[in-house]
Amino acid sequence: MKINVLGLGYIGLPTAVLFASKGFDVHGVDGNPEIIESLRRKEINIKEKGLHELLIDVFNNQKIKFSTTPVESDVFIIAVPTPTNIDKTANLNYVLNAINSILKYLRKGNLIIIESTVPPGTIETKIIPLLESTKLSVGEDLFISHCPERILPGNLLQEMIKNDRVVGGINEISASMTVELYKCYSEGKIHVTDLTTAEMVKLMENAYRDVNIAFANEVARIAEKINVDIWEAIKIANSHPRVNILQPGPGVGGHCIAVDPYFLIQIAPKEAKVIAAARDTNNNTSNYIVELIKKSIEHIENPLISIFGLTYKAGVADIRESPAIKIVNSLLDQKYRLSIYDPLVNVYDKIQKPTVEEAANESDCLVFITDHAEFKRLDFSKIKERVRTKIIVDTRNVIKENITTDGFMHIRLGALKL
């Protein structure tokens, strides 16, 4: 059986590689010729455990080929991004272009699977009409389903295999063809429903997490007002059998949770009140951190601020929607002197340093924005020799040891001393 996978990013590439590893003939398609060229050289820029090895394996076994254009196939999987427009509505250009690009290759019996995240109703109202322009009857000649991905970046392959999946089909036969296909590598339960419910479920999952994080950020600010340590308070509250509050932090990044809730707001702006408020809270958190940093160094002349962590979360080389980038850009705009370290990405050439120690040199304030594992093991008795002023702003409760013994003032988000 032949599968075309359109879009070779964080989702499409591992999906393509997994199907190829199960013996399917996979044709990976991406509109960006540079991505195709590098994949043909067996090079990838997605750092995920086991992915590169698997790619080399299936490529050498000739189970996968890469091209900028689709070919005739049995199955077409659409895994292109859904960015937002300036007004935060979903930009469906990539999805609709991908569908348009396969129209001339479609034949009777083909299955089209949309993995890309889309606002509820998109497949019925925007994608199916395009497919019907082929004169093939959707539901009888062509089968279509939505199978949104649910994997956590940082643990892609494992989650792809282990997680439950959701399959929404236009009819039973579309759904069961999709279930049969994914069963080849998916060990989780596959939940079957209709197209629009599957679209809605995906968005609800990410909006739920966004709302929960906004709640954590809100109670963190309340805690600061009354001299309570929110990290301890959340830990204790979570010992209740029906409470599971997430962690406060510098804001919500990544291309999923920071984006998907807008697609629910877009279809029901009057109803999506909590979801919209959560977006506002999480978006504004980076400004709050900037103010916190500025306040902590207001008494220092021409301060040097050291930023630790640029990626949107620990362990992933991804800066999309990262709160750290917003914080850095805001400080740079306000003409602060910065020194930056991140073990996984290089974004700010001149001011980015190769080690924690170099980034700490002559610093007046060490700001921890991403909780990379390396930061949890730092030896502050050595770092204290390098800094000019001993101030730490910790936005994720990364620093567990008592650094006040090394003379540092430890300013923790959600646990400010009045």
Q: Cα separations (Å) of 123 from 30, 68, 135, 145, 193?
A: 21, 24, 17, 9, 14
Shortest approach of ligand SAJ to residue 313 CB, angstroms? Answer: 4
CA-closest candidate to residue 68, choices 21, 4, 18: 4
Q: Is 184 a catalytic residue?
A: no
Residue 213 binding ligand SAJ, by CB under 6 A: yes
Task: Give the integer Cα–Cα distance in Å for 33 and 38.
Answer: 9
Task: Give the integer Cα–Cα distance in Å for 385 and 413.
Answer: 25
Pick the stretch among 31-39, 107-115, 242-250, 299-307 that binds ligand SAJ (CB under 6 A).
242-250
Neighbours of 398 (CB within 10 A): 21
Residue 364 binding ligand SAJ, by CB under 6 A: no
Pick the stretch among 46-54, 125-133, 245-253, 398-406 that binds ligand SAJ (CB under 6 A).
245-253
Could you say which of 74, 124, 205, 374 contacts ligand SAJ (CB under 6 A)? 205
State the alpha helices, DSSP H only, in 88-226. 93-102, 122, 128-132, 156-162, 172-182, 195-225
**Under a CB-based contact definition with an 8 Å cutoff, are residues 73 and 108 in contact?**
no
Q: Which is nearer to ligand SAJ, 4 or 206 (CB)?
A: 206
Q: Which is nearer to ligand SAJ, 104 or 400 (CB)?
A: 400
Could you say which of 253, 303, 309, 414 contacts ligand SAJ (CB under 6 A)? 253
**Under a CB-based contact definition with an 8 Å cutoff, are residues 311 and 344 in contact?**
yes
Shortest approach of ligand SAJ to residue 140 CB, angstroms? Answer: 32
User: How far separated are the first and last CA of the chain, in Å rounded?
Assistant: 66
Shortest approach of ligand SAJ to residue 63 CB, angstroms? Answer: 25
CA-closest candidate to residue 200, choices 103, 305, 271: 271
Q: How many residues bind ligand SAJ (CB under 6 A)?
A: 19
Could you say which of 233, 246, 274, 347 contacts ligand SAJ (CB under 6 A)? 246
Residue 408 binding ligand SAJ, by CB under 6 A: no
Residue 397 binding ligand SAJ, by CB under 6 A: no
* Helix/strand/coil for 108: coil
Pick the stretch among 248-256, 336-344, 398-406, 410-418 that binds ligand SAJ (CB under 6 A).
248-256
List the catalytic residue out of 63, 147, 202, 365: 202
Neighbours of 85 (CB within 10 A): 12
| DSSP assigned state of 231 | H
Site track for ligand SAJ across 304-343, x = CB under 6 A: --------xx------------------------------
Task: Give the integer Cα–Cα distance in Å for 305 and 297.
Answer: 9
Q: Is 147 a catalytic residue?
A: no
Q: Which is nearer to ligand SAJ, 168 or 249 (CB)?
A: 249
Angle 283-87-194 from CA coordinates, rounded to 5°? 90
Residue 150 binding ligand SAJ, by CB under 6 A: yes
115's tokens: 């993995």
Pick the stretch among 53-61, 169-177, 250-258, 380-388 that binds ligand SAJ (CB under 6 A).
250-258
260's tokens: 């998907």
Could you say which of 101, 110, 178, 206 contacts ligand SAJ (CB under 6 A)? 206
**Under a CB-based contact definition with an 8 Å cutoff, are residues 289 and 395 in contact?**
yes
Shortest approach of ligand SAJ to residue 304 CB, angstroms? Answer: 26
Shortest approach of ligand SAJ to residue 143 CB, angstroms? Answer: 24
Angle at which helices 195-225 and 230-237 cross, to 10°: 130
Point out which residues bind ligand SAJ (CB under 6 A): 149-153, 205-206, 209, 213, 246-247, 249, 252-254, 256-257, 312-313
